[in-house]
């Protein structure tokens, strides 16, 4: 294992998104603050509590999850695509770094961004609306697993994509809809039966309800299933992204 | 003879129907300055990309100091520094930081890389730009940065893919001087180029490549002697007193007061010709020599010019 190489690439990946924190860290915080302001001051008075939780607080764990997974995904996806398009990737591919080391460094970089964003939104909830955190360890664990899993997925997308357009399509047509339909803003018990059934095949539904359980103690899904799902996604995407990197598909001739 | 620094045998590679490499064999000794000379699309970049791991080979073998470039990639890649033809772009970090990253990929910690990073920035005239981003550098500076990046882990082999493509004359000469300096300090250098002058000036040995095949390999001087033809034109006051017997060893034509000689090696033949003509009491007014070059060799081998 080239530990210095791995460590260098992790530093580069983390340094990269911190260098443009206005694009990578602040937007999630501002959006969440806006949600809190809009729902807290206006809509919450007209929407009844869900499962005994005030509406703004109910949606916050979902927002943590959405911020976590979109940031983790876009960090690896855009960094990898950028490296490809700007001719930086040969610097890595000609260095004594294995596919495993390159993949791990990218995944860790994306996971750090996911976690930073998730934890900052969590703190925003705690400080702005006094959100209680029932199980801090479980919450952090969920943020970590989801960051890692979606960072790995982002790496897959970044390596396979050939243009920014393709990446944006994945984000806009799959990730965002699946997040919104995963129950950020509602309990799926409020949905008709067919829509509830559809929600069960949406992996993000389990992530949102998992963290909602660890933060607020309420959840539509069994918490064990949520944890299992997070672990399965993490292992699955990690293995897939490492294998794809080792294969050199789309990055070597 | 020791293990070659680079040993390529029977390398083939196709892109779809296009046969990019068609059984390439190259052997480069440690400390040698070697040129891979050929027109665009001849297979130069594909060859070095296979060596550095950017391109998968189809068949054949590529070894660096006797080790396989795939099986022992950590060893072989750590021995090679490559300055690619294309500039990479980085929006985020200053160039000094990029050099530290590059050293890091090769397992060198920043504190250990610092002396070499400083000396490379100095030597390549980039010291004052160490905190600049790549996009703020001129084309020539970017080229020098590419070379600094290739050398930051102090590799034994330096591979340069068209290092002087698109750079002005002054920088080209400066880079040549630097490469000669590196060579004199023992670095093995593999250079790809389609500039004849560059290969002739710098390289101890060259391989002429076209359509994925090595056509000829050897020292530039030997190749021009073997395959090049050059002309020497001598203008005289008049040809009175010329004894044809004196010139019987030469291929020449005469026209009024002009003699045109066709020779293999003008450096060697020109003084002899002058001596013969002077001894015959002829007054030389003007001499023109069209030096034989690798261009002639290339022409001779392929029937076309290198930049055609």
Three-state SS at B238:
coil
φ, ψ at A53 (rounded to 5°): -115, 135
pLDDT digits (tens, 9 = 90+) for B79-114: 999 998 888 888 889 999 999 999 999 999 999 999
Angle at B163 between CA A248 and CA B19, to 5 degrees: 50
Burial status of residue B169 (CB atoms within 10 A of its CB: 0-12, 13-18, 19 or more): exposed
How many angstroms away from the CA of A2 is the closest CA of chain B? 6
φ, ψ at B17 (rounded to 5°): -85, -15
Which residue is closest to B91 within chain A, CA to CA? Answer: A16
Residues 6+ apart with CB under 8 A from A69: A114, A146, A147, A149, A150, A175, A179, A204, A207
Cβ proximity of A9 and A102 under 8 Å: yes
Q: Tell whether the model's pLDDT for residue B291 goes beyond 70.
A: no
Q: Do B84 and A90 touch (CB under 8 A)?
A: yes
φ, ψ at A150 (rounded to 5°): -80, -25
Percent of chain A with pLDDT over 90: 65
A94 CB near a chain B CB, below 8 Å?
yes
Q: Do A95 and B77 touch (CB under 8 A)?
A: yes
The span from the first CA to the last CA of chain B, in angstroms, equals 38
The pLDDT, as a whole number, for residue A232 is 96
A86 CB near a chain B CB, below 8 Å?
yes
Q: How many beta-carbon pairs below 8 A join chains A and B?
A: 87
Which residue is closest to A88 within chain B, CA to CA? Answer: B88
B105 CB near a chain A CB, below 8 Å?
yes
Pick left, alpha or beta for residue B10 (phi over 0 → left; psi -120 to 50 → alpha; otherwise beta): left
Q: Which two tokens stand for residue B126?
A: 């980039």
Q: What is the mean pLDDT of residues B51-78?
A: 93
Of the candidates B53, B10, B24, which has an alpha carbon nearest to the alpha carbon of residue B212? B24
Instruction: Provide the H-helix boundaries in chain A.
Output: 3-19, 21-24, 26-41, 55-85, 89-93, 99-129, 136-160, 164-170, 176-181, 193-199, 203-216, 223-247
Q: Do B106 and A86 touch (CB under 8 A)?
A: no
- pTM equals 0.85
B74 CB near a chain A CB, below 8 Å?
yes
| Ordered strands of the B67-68 beta sheet | B18-28, B6-15, B59-64, B67-68
Sequence-ordered strand ranges (E) for B33-97: 33-37, 59-64, 67-68, 80-83
Which residue is closest to A96 within chain B, CA to CA? Answer: B74
Q: Which two tokens stand for residue B293?
A: 């070059």
Residues 6+ apart with CB under 8 A from A182: A62, A65, A199, A202, A204, A205, A207, A208
What's the CA gap between B294 and B308, in Å, rounded? 15
pLDDT digits (tens, 9 = 90+) for B131-185: 999 889 988 889 999 999 999 999 999 999 988 877 788 888 888 999 999 999 9
For tokens 């360890």, name the residue: A137
Which residue is closest to B46 within chain A, CA to CA? Answer: A253
B56 CB near a chain A CB, below 8 Å?
yes
For residue B50, the surrounding DSSP H or E stretch is helix B44-52
For tokens 């001739």, name the residue: A253
A91 CB near a chain B CB, below 8 Å?
yes
The pLDDT, as a whole number, for residue B1 is 59
Q: What is the mean pLDDT of residues B189-209?
A: 88
Burial per residue of B183-206, b for 16 or more beta-carbon CB atoms within 10 angstroms, e otherwise = beeebbbbbbbbbbebbbebbbbb
Residues 6+ apart with CB under 8 A from A95: A5, B77, B102, B105, B106
Cβ proximity of B19 and B58 under 8 Å: no
Q: Do A87 and B56 touch (CB under 8 A)?
A: no
Burial per residue of A171-190, b for 16 or more beta-carbon CB atoms within 10 angstroms, e otherwise = beeebeebbebbbbbbbbee
B70 CB near a chain A CB, below 8 Å?
no
Residue B119 CB neighbour total at 10 angstroms: 13
pLDDT digits (tens, 9 = 90+) for B16-48: 888 899 999 999 999 999 999 888 888 999 999
The pLDDT, as a whole number, for residue A148 is 97
The pLDDT, as a whole number, for residue B306 is 63
The pLDDT, as a whole number, for residue B300 is 66
In a mutational test of the B interface, the residue from A75, A96, A106 whose CB has the highest number of chain B CBs within 10 Å is: A96
Torsion of CA B159, B164, B165, B170, to 10 degrees: 170
How many angstroms away from the CA of B37 is the closest CA of chain A? 23
A132 CB near a chain B CB, below 8 Å?
no
Q: Do A7 and B104 touch (CB under 8 A)?
A: yes
A228 CB near a chain B CB, below 8 Å?
no
φ, ψ at A130 (rounded to 5°): 60, 40
Low-confidence ranges of chain A (pLDDT < 50): none
Pick left, alpha or beta for residue A232 (phi over 0 → left; psi -120 to 50 → alpha; otherwise beta): alpha
Residue A38 CB neighbour total at 10 angstroms: 12
Q: Which two tokens stand for residue B8?
A: 């390529």
Q: Tell whether the model's pLDDT for residue B196 goes beyond 90.
A: no
Q: Tell whether the model's pLDDT for residue B308 goes beyond 60.
A: no
Minimum-distance CB partner of A4 among B52, B80, B108: B108
């Amino acid at each position: 294992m080239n530990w210095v190489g791995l460590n260098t690439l992790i530093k580069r990946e983390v340094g990269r998104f911190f260098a443009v924190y206005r694009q990578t860290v602040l937007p999630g915080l501002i959006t969440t603050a806006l949600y809190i302001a809009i729902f807290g001051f206006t809509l919450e008075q007209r929407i009844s509590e869900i499962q005994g939780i005030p509406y703004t607080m109910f949606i916050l764990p979902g927002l943590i999850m959405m911020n976590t997974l979109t940031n983790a995904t876009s960090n690896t996806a855009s960094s990898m695509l950028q490296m490809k398009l700007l001719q930086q990737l040969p610097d890595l591919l000609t260095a004594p770094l294995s596919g495993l080391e390159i993949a791990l460094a990218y995944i860790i970089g994306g996971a750090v961004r996911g976690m930073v964003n998730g934890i900052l939104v969590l703190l925003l909830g705690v400080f702005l609306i006094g959100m209680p955190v029932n199980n801090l360890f479980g919450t952090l664990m969920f943020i970590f697993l989801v960051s890692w899993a979606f960072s790995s997925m982002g790496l897959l997308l970044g390596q396979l994509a050939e243009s920014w357009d393709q990446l944006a399509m994945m984000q806009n047509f799959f990730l965002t809809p699946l997040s919104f339909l995963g129950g950020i803003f509602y309990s799926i018990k409020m949905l008709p039966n067919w829509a509830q059934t559809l929600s069960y095949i949406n992996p993000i539904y389990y992530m949102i309800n998992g963290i909602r359980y660890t933060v607020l103690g309420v959840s539509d899904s069994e918490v064990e299933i949520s944890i299992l799902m997070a672990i399965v996604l993490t292992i699955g995407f990690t293995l897939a992204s490492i294998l794809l990197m080792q294969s050199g598909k789309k990055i070597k001739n | 003879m020791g293990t070659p620094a680079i040993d390529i045998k029977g390398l083939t590679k196709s892109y779809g129907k296009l046969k990019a490499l068609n059984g390439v064999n190259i052997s480069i000794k440690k400390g040698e300055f070697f040129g891979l000379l050929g027109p665009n699309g001849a297979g130069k970049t594909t060859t070095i990309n296979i060596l550095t791991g950017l391109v998968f080979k189809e068949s054949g073998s590529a070894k660096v100091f006797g080790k396989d470039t795939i099986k022992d990639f950590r060893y072989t890649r750590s021995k090679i520094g490559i300055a690619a033809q294309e500039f990479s772009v980085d929006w985020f970090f200053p160039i000094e930081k990029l050099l530290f990253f590059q050293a890091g990929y090769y397992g060198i910690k920043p504190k250990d890389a610092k002396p070499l990073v400083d000396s490379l920035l100095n030597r390549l005239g980039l010291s004052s730009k160490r905190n600049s981003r790549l996009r703020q550098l001129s084309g020539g500076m970017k080229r020098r940065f590419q070379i600094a990046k290739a050398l930051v882990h102090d590799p034994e082999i330096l591979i340069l893919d068209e290092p002087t493509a698109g750079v002005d004359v002054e920088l080209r000469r400066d880079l040549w001087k630097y490469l000669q300096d590196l060579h004199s300090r023992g670095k093995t250098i593999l250079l790809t180029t389609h500039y004849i002058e560059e290969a002739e000036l710098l390289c101890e040995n060259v391989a002429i490549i076209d359509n994925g095949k090595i056509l000829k390999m050897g020292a530039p001087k030997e190749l021009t002697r073997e395959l090049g033809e050059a002309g020497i034109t001598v203008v005289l006051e008049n040809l009175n007193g010329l004894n044809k017997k004196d010139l019987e060893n030469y291929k020449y034509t005469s026209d009024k007061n002009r003699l045109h000689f066709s020779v293999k090696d003008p450096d060697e033949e020109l003084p002899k010709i002058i001596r013969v003509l002077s001894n015959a009491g002829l007054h030389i007014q003007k001499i023109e020599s069209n030096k034989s070059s690798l261009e002639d060799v290339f022409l001779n081998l392929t029937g076309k010019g290198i930049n055609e």
